[in-house]
Structure 1
Amino acid sequence: MTTNLKCSRDDGQATHIAPDWVTSLARRQFSGDGDDDDVGVWFIAKKTVEKSDLVAQQNRLYLPTDSVATNLVVLLSPEERLTRWDGSGGTVVKGDELKLFRAWSALEKGDKLEVWAFRHRGGDCELCFAIGRP
């Protein structure tokens, strides 16, 4: 079963359909039991893996700037918008989970990925990312 993406805006562009694994993950994180059908899942970006995305010391996945401006910024709270990384001005996904993802997925330069987002139901409604091959 696929779930239509809950868009934050309607600009006439094609609507991405969230894959089953993304909606299932979001439901489990949101409700704890996987039964909540009213979980927002947003498409963030399509990405081609670059050599710099694979450097273990950097521990980050660079997101395409145009996709961030169009799809991610509108989801951010004011506090999240203030969290910036000085330097390139780029947007990256970081964290220990990214190390595990890289190890388990056997990513290589040139691989195609899709990045999706949803909010965890916990007290702070943490923004979560689902990253995988299309």
Structure 2
Amino acid sequence: MPPCFAGSRRPLEMVVYDPAAASKRAWPDETSTPSPSPSANATALALHPASAAPPFGDFAPISAVPLSAVPPRLPPLPTARPPLAADPGREEPPCLRKHFLAELGLRADLPVHFVAEKFVTSTDLDGHQNRFRIPSDGVERRLRAILTPRELHDANLLHDPPPMPRKRPRHEQPDVAAEGEQQPGKRMKKPKKQGKVHGGLRMKMVDLAAGARELQMSRWESSRGTIVKGEGYLDFIRRCSFEERDAVEIWAFVQRGVRLMGSVLCDDSPLHVLVVKKDRQARCNCLVPHQHFQHPQLN
């Protein structure tokens, strides 16, 4: 009979503890506990505002852009002067479409572009200079727009000219030691520089009195001025009856070839530059085709 103690209602028993059995009995209790449903998690997240900081800390959002998304930094584009606005009050010469375009073999509806106005200078009429200068502002903003890249290349207008080299000061003397034959006290004569042979764009200069003359247009690299020159220029400019300080307008037009269904409707023409006095602008005294267009002075 098992031992008993005073006041106890049941006898004591010896119990052997088995850890493996205890763990096995606890496993079904854990697996039977229901897990929170996804809807419950979504409801809990919805209770927090979107701008609320995470519960584990207050951190500011990082504003960063991936390097691959940043466009490369390009060099600045060269600043170009805006084109000149058209002058609404300027009218083209009335004789141009009535008589001269037809006599030149061009279409009557050809676009005519105003280039610039200037005062005739003494160098435009000088036989030693032998050239007519077109204002650079009108060339850059108006005349270049109607020329093709090939025509710009021939006129030396396709690219900006290189910077002018620095001139040697006149007081700077050449090295005497290098000039072994130079005697002291005597200045050595420098050989005369040969003029640079300039090409140019084949074009025609037109005048209401002198007709048309085939010349060349080019931009000089030394002065960066655009000039019209060529054989026969001086004779032509004298027949234009221009005088120094005359106010003139310069117009330009060129015809582009048109072909339709294999047929040539009109051919290409060289650039035409018309120089007209402003006092002759508003009237037309041409009653018959001009004699210089019937027998043009062309080379």
Q: What is the TM-score with the length of structure 2 in the denominator? A: 0.36
Give me the identity figure in percent.
30
Q: Which runs of 5+ in 2 are unaligned?
A: 1-82, 157-219, 257-265, 279-299
Q: How does 1:7-26 map to 2 (within 5 A)?
A: 12-15=85-88, 16-23=90-97, 24-26=99-101
Runs of at least 5 residues in structure 1 that lack an aligned partner in the other structure: 1-9
Structure 1 or 2: more helix by fraction: 1
Q: Which runs of structure 2 are paired with 1:28-67 in the superposition (5 Å)?
A: 28-31=103-106, 36-67=107-138
Q: Does 1:106 align with 2:241?
A: yes
Once superposed, which parts of structure 1, at least 4 consecutive aligned residues long, lie more than 3 Å away?
A: 10-13, 95-98, 120-124
Greater strand fraction, Structure 1 or Structure 2:
1
Change (3 A) 1:42 1:116: same
Instruction: Please say if residues 26 and 41 of structure 1, whose CA atoms lie closer than 8 Å, have aligned partners that are also in contact.
Output: no
Q: CA deviation at 1:28?
A: 2.7
What is the TM-score normalised by the length of structure 1?
Answer: 0.75
Q: What is the alpha-carbon root mean square deviation over aligned residues?
A: 2.4
Aligned residues: 121
Distance 1:124 1:30, change over 3 A: same
Contact between 1:22 and 1:116, CA under 8 Å: does it hold in 2?
no
How many Å separate the matches in 2 of 1:78 and 1:51? 33
Amino acid at match of 1:76: L
**Which of the pair has the greater relative contact order for Cα pairs under 8 Å at 6+ separation?**
1
Rg: which structure is higher? 2
**Structure 1 pair 125–76 and aligned structure 2 pair: CA distance change class (3 A):** same
Provide the secondary structure at the position in 2 that maps to 1:18. Answer: coil
Question: CA offsets, 1:33-69, max 9 Å, x none?
Answer: xxx4321111111110111111123221111111111
